[in-house]
C-alpha cells in the first residue's frame, strides 16, 4: 500500500525522525539524493543528451528550497545547473542557508526577479522547489510571478513534493499553480496529489524515500492508497470443507412500491460477492430478484414506504442474520425513518450494520447503538448528515467524513472523486473507478458488496475499502472491455 501523509503527519514524521537521532541535514541530504536519482532517470528517458543538459532549479525560502539547493549541488556534477533563489535578506530556514552555502562555484545563482533574463527554450529541465506542501493559498503576487515564469519555460518541469500552488490537503489550486510533467513526492503521497485538481497538475508521480525508519513512517502515516496486491491479501479464503453457513447471513432492508429494484440489487450483489445466505425484506419484491434470495414482503404506508408495524417482523429476521444492510430505495417518509432508527437500536453487539442512501437519515435519531456501523454516503448525503451546505464541504469532504466517523463512531465510505474509506484518524483512497459508473443503482450494488464481504468474516474497515475497490475496478474492467461511456449497475 502506498502511504499517504497529511501535512500534519508529514511534520510529525520529520519531528519523529529528528527525535530518533537523524539530523535535519541528513534528512535533506537523503531526500535530495532520492530526488536526484529520479530526475536523472527522467532526463535519461525524455531528453536527448547529444548536447549538455541545462537545468534550472527554482528554490523557495524553506526546506523545500533546501531540498532544491541540495538537488542542484548533486546534479551539477553531471549537468549545467542554474539556481533561482530568494534574496539573502529574506526570511530563510536554517536548512536553506546551509544548503545554499554548500553550492559549488559551478552553479550559477540568480534571484527570483532575474528569471526573465533566462532563455526559456535554452533550458531543458525546470525543477520547482519553491514551497511544496508548505504553500498557503492564495499565493501572493510575488510568488505568482515566479510560478508564471516557471510555467513559461519550454522544458520538462519537475515539482518537488507538490507543485507550488497546489493545496497539500484538498487538491485546490491557485491560478498561478505550477503545471508539471513530473512530481516527486517525499516518502509518500499527500491527499492533494489525489484530490480535486491534484491529478491535473502533478503529471506522473514518483516516490522518494527520505531515510525515515520504517517503523516511524508506518506509525505516522494517516492514510494509504489501496492496490490490487493489498486487496488480494485481505480477501477471505475458502476451505474445501466449507458450507453456506460459514459465509454469513445478510439481511437487506429497503425499497418502496416505486423503488423495489434498489434493495434487490443490493441483495443480489451480497450473494454474488460470496455471502452464504441473503434475506431481502422490502415493501415490494422486484420480480428479477435472484431465486436464491429469501424474500419477505413488508407492510407499507399509503406512500409506499415500509410501515411502522413492520418492525417486529424485521427484528425476527434480524435474529438469524450476521450483517444487516439498510437504506437502498428506502424513501424519506419520516415514519419509516423513525422506525428504522428504533430498529437500529435493537441490533445486538457483534453484528455489522451497513447504512446507505435514505437509511442514513435515521442515524441522528438513534439514541444508542451497540453494533458496528459502516455508512456509505455521497457528498450530498454527508452534507445533510452533518448539517452543512454541500458546496462548503466539496473540497474538504474527507475531513468532514472523518468528523462524521468520530461523531457517530462509525466507518464512512465517502462516494466522491476520489472515493475514500475513513475512520476518525485514517483514510484509504481509491485510484480506480470512472464516470461511466455514475448511474442509478451503482451505490446499491456497492452496499451489497460491502455487506457480503462483512458476512464472510472480514473486518468492517477492510470490507468497506476492499468492497469499494472491487466495485470500482469492476467498473474499469467493464469500460475497458466494452468501450461504453455509461454503464448499467
Q: Tell me phi and psi for residue 147, to 5 degrees.
A: -65, -35
Low-confidence ranges of the chain (pLDDT < 70): none
The confidence score (pLDDT) of residue 402 equals 98
CATH topology of domain 2-224: Rossmann fold (3.40.50)
Q: What is the pLDDT of residue 351?
A: 97
* Residues sharing a CB contact under 8 Å with residue 329, sequence separation 6 or more, in sequence order: 254, 255, 256, 259, 260, 261, 262, 263, 282, 357, 358, 444
What phi and psi values does residue 191 have, to the nearest 5 degrees? -55, -35
Contact (CB, 8 A) for 58 and 120:
no
| CB atoms closer than 10 angstroms to residue 310 | 25
What is the phi/psi pair of residue 261, to 5°?
-70, -35
CATH number assigned to the domain with residue range 228-482, chosen from the 4 options 3.40.50.970, 3.40.50.12280, 3.40.1190.20, 1.20.140.10: 3.40.1190.20
Query: CATH 3.40.1190.20 residue ranges in the chain?
Result: 228-482
Q: Where in the chain is the domain with CATH 3.40.50.10260?
A: 2-224
Q: In whole angstroms, how large is the CA radius of gyration of the chain?
A: 27
**Cα 394 to Cα 341: distance, rounded to the nearest angstrom:** 28
Tens-place pLDDT, residues 51-102: 889 999 999 999 999 999 999 999 999 999 999 999 987 789 999 999 999 9
Phi, psi of 255 (to 5 degrees): 85, 155
Which pLDDT tens digit goes with each residue over 16-46? Answer: 999 999 999 999 999 999 999 999 999 999 8
Would you call the peptide bond into 418 cis, given omega within 30 degrees of 0 as the criterion?
yes
Distance CA(433)–CA(436), nearest Å, equals: 8
**Which stretches within 108-183 are classed as H helix?**
141-152
Amino acid at each position: 500500500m502506498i502511504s499517504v501523509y497529511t501535512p500534519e503527519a508529514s511534520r510529525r514524521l520529520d519531528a519523529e525522525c529528528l527525535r530518533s537521532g537523524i539530523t535535519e541535514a541528513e534528512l535533506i541530504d537523503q531526500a535530495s539524493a532520492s530526488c536526484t536519482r529520479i530526475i536523472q532517470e527522467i532526463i535519461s528517458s525524455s531528453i536527448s543528451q547529444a548536447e549538455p543538459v541545462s537545468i534550472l532549479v527554482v528554490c523557495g525560502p524553506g526546506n523545500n528550497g533546501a531540498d532544491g539547493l541540495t538537488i542542484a549541488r548533486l546534479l551539477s556534477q553531471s549537468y549545467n545547473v542554474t539556481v533561482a533563489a530568494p534574496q539573502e535578506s529574506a526570511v530563510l530556514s536554517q536548512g536553506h542557508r546551509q544548503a545554499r552555502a554548500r553550492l559549488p562555484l559551478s552553479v550559477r545563482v540568480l534571484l527570483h526577479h532575474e528569471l526573465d533574463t533566462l532563455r526559456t527554450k535554452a533550458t531543458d529541465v525546470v525543477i520547482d522547489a519553491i514551497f511544496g506542501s508548505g504553500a498557503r493559498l492564495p499565493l501572493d503576487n510575488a510568488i505568482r510571478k515566479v510560478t508564471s515564469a516557471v510555467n513559461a519555460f519550454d522544458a520538462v518541469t519537475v515539482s518537488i513534493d507538490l507543485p507550488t500552488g497546489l493545496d497539500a490537503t484538498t487538491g485546490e489550486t491557485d491560478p498561478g499553480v505550477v503545471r508539471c510533467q513530473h512530481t516527486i513526492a517525499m516518502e509518500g503521497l499527500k491527499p492533494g496529489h489525489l484530490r480535486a485538481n491534484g491529478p491535473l497538475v502533478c503529471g506522473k508521480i514518483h516516490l522518494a524515500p527520505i531515510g525515515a525508519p520504517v517503523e516511524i513512517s508506518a506509525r505516522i502515516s494517516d492514510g494509504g492508497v489501496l492496490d490490487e496486491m493489498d486487496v488480494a491479501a485481505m480477501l477471505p479464503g475458502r476451505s474445501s470443507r466449507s458450507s453456506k453457513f460459514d459465509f454469513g447471513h445478510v439481511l437487506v432492508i429497503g425499497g418502496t412500491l416505486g423503488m423495489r429494484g434498489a434493495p434487490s440489487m443490493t441483495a443480489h450483489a451480497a450473494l454474488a460477492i460470496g455471502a452464504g445466505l441473503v434475506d431481502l425484506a422490502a415493501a415490494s419484491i422486484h420480480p428479477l430478484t435472484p431465486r436464491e434470495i429469501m424474500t419477505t414482503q413488508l407492510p407499507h404506508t399509503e406512500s409506499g414506504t415500509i410501515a411502522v408495524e413492520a418492525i417486529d417482523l424485521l427484528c425476527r429476521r434480524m435474529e438469524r442474520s450476521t450483517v444487516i444492510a439498510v437504506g437502498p430505495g428506502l424513501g424519506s417518509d419520516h415514519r419509516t425513518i423513525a422506525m428504522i432508527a428504533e430498529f437500529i437500536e435493537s441490533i445486538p453487539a457483534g453484528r455489522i450494520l451497513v447504512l446507505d442512501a435514505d437509511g442514513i437519515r435515521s442515524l441522528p435519531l438513534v439514541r444508542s447503538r451497540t453494533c458496528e456501523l459502516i455508512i456509505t454516503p455521497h457528498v450530498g448525503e454527508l452534507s445533510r448528515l452533518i448539517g452543512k451546505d454541500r458546496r462548503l464541504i466539496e473540497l474538504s469532504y474527507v475531513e468532514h467524513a472523518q468528523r462524521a466517523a468520530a461523531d457517530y463512531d462509525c466507518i464512512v465510505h465517502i462516494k466522491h472523486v476520489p472515493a475514500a474509506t475513513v475512520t476518525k484518524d485514517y483514510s484509504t483512497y481509491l485510484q480506480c473507478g470512472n464516470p461511466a459508473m455514475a448511474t442509478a443503482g451503482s451505490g446499491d450494488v456497492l452496499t451489497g458488496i460491502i455487506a457480503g464481504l462483512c458476512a464472510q468474516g472480514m473486518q468492517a474497515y477492510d470490507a468497506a475499502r476492499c468492497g469499494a475497490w472491487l466495485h470500482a475496478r469492476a467498473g474499469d474492467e467493464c469500460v475497458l472491455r466494452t468501450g461504453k461511456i455509461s454503464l448499467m449497475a
